[in-house]
Amino acid sequence: MDCESVSAHILQPLRGRLVIFVLFLFSPILAQLHWLPVNQRITYKLCLLMHLVHIKYCLDYLNSLVHLTADSATRPGLRSASRLSYRKPALASKFSEQAFSYAGPAAWNSLRDHIQSITSTASFKRPLKTFLFSACSYY
């Protein structure tokens, strides 16, 4: 065995512990600075893009990727048609959940109704960030 494979073999189990230790160490600092964790930051960006799609202030290709639930021909009389939710497409694999056409509506539909109904982008950001902070694990 060469030196690199031995060191990789020894360090591999420690990598996971190091990540957990760093997250545990820096979580209070992130909370104090009002920074969102990475997964919540991604959700923030997705919701912001979906907000721009919702108010029709985005590029056409983004608008063509997502569809309102109310626009579906099978849902005009249902309660979900009155909500501002978007349809998530059927998926062939778990990998497809990363596509904007699925991840965007999933993030948007997780928001509360009063946040979804805000039409100004500037006034949308603050309640969105507050909602995501309330879902953080380090608070």
Residue 22 vs residues 28, 33, 87: alpha-carbon distances, Å: 11, 16, 38
Q: pLDDT tens, 7-42?
A: 555 556 655 555 555 555 556 665 565 678 888 999
Task: Give the model's pLDDT for residue 5.
Answer: 53
In the predicted model, is pLDDT for residue 111 greater than 80? yes
Close Cβ partners of 48 (under 8 Å, ≥ 6 residues apart):
121, 124, 125, 128
Q: Per-residue pLDDT tens for 84-94?
A: 788 888 888 88
Q: What is the mean pLDDT of residues 45-70?
A: 90
**What pTM did the predictor assign?**
0.71
The helix/strand/coil state of 68 is strand
Position with higher pLDDT, 15 vs 104: 104
pLDDT at position 24 is 54
Name the more confident of 91 and 123. 123
Closest among 114, 134, 111 to 48, alpha carbons compared = 111
Q: Which residue has the tokens 């512990």?
A: 17
Confidence of residue 135 (pLDDT cuts 50, 70, 90): confident
Beta-carbon-side half-sphere exposure of residue 28 (alpha carbons within 13 Å)? 3
Report pLDDT for 50.
95
* φ/ψ bin of 100: left (φ > 0), alpha (ψ from -120 to 50), beta (otherwise): alpha
